């Protein structure tokens, strides 16, 4: 495990958040949420990304996926067969999923008085991930594999903390810290 307490705290907090969310949205006894090394983040054909930021923190929250996986997730929520879900609907579903996860993450750390702005989620080709290696800031990245027998997506959080106050506050973040949780994805 990474030696930085902020990195460890974010990893534990995001793992718990993903587990709670996916267990509620796509219940499965075989749900697995694993932090994996960044080098194991394989390119997927699609990526949905959003920025969470304030003057002291920048974080790109990304979901990396193949379209058939997005269709399977959307189909479960819409009570359809996965091949009946159009590509655009599946991508819109993943954008809303990213939006909900970003909101949950914001609430999870809100008690630390670290208010974050949240961009709208954008969909990009998965290979755009190579450009995030060139950003001109010193960032760290957490990567998670979310899977069950019917689904696998990757979630990554690339972040940089520039302010001392944010560093001190995030050092106290723990898995037990719970924000107010949203129960469902509102998807029309």
Global confidence as pTM: 0.85
β-bridge mates for residue 143, sequence order: 36, 156
pLDDT of residue 20: 87
Q: What is the topology classification, in CATH, of domain 5-171?
A: Chemotaxis protein chec (3.40.1550)
List pLDDT tens digits, range 92-105: 999 999 999 999 88
Quick one: pLDDT at residue 94? Answer: 93
pLDDT at 188: 41
pLDDT in tens, 169-187: 888 876 544 544 544 555 4
Question: How far is CA 170 from each of CA 89, 110, 115, 184, rounded to the nearest angstrom?
Answer: 36, 11, 12, 27
More confident residue, 151 or 14: 14
Average pLDDT over residues 108-121: 86
Q: Using CA atoms in the order 96, 144, 117, 104, what is the torsion angle rounded to 10 degrees? A: 60
For 13-44, how does the pLDDT look when each residue is reduced to its tens digit (9 = 90+)? 899 889 888 888 877 788 899 999 888 887 78
Q: What ranges do the domains of the chain cover?
A: 5-171
Which of residues 57 and 130 earns the better pLDDT score? 57
Neighbours of 114 (CB within 10 A): 18
| Tokens 């969310």 -> residue | 21
């Amino acid at each position: 495990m990474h030696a930085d307490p902020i990195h460890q705290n974010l990893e534990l907090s995001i793992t718990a958040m993903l587990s709670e969310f996916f267990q509620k949205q796509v219940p499965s006894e075989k749900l697995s949420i694993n932090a994996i090394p960044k080098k194991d983040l394989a390119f997927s054909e699609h990526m949905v990304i959003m920025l969470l930021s304030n003057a002291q923190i920048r974080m790109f929250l990304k979901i990396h996926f193949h379209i058939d996986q997005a269709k399977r997730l959307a189909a479960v929520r819409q009570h359809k067969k996965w091949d009946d879900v159009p590509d655009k609907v599946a991508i819109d579903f993943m954008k809303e999923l990213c939006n909900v996860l970003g909101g949950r993450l914001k609430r999870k750390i809100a008690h630390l008085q670290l208010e974050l702005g949240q961009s709208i989620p954008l969909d990009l080709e998965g290979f755009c991930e190579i450009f995030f290696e060139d950003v001109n800031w010193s960032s760290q990245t957490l990567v998670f594999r979310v899977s069950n027998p019917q689904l696998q997506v990757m979630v990554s959080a690339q972040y940089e903390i520039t302010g001392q106050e944010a560093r001190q506050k995030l050092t106290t973040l723990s898995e037990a810290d719970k924000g107010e949780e949203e129960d469902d994805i509102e998807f029309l």
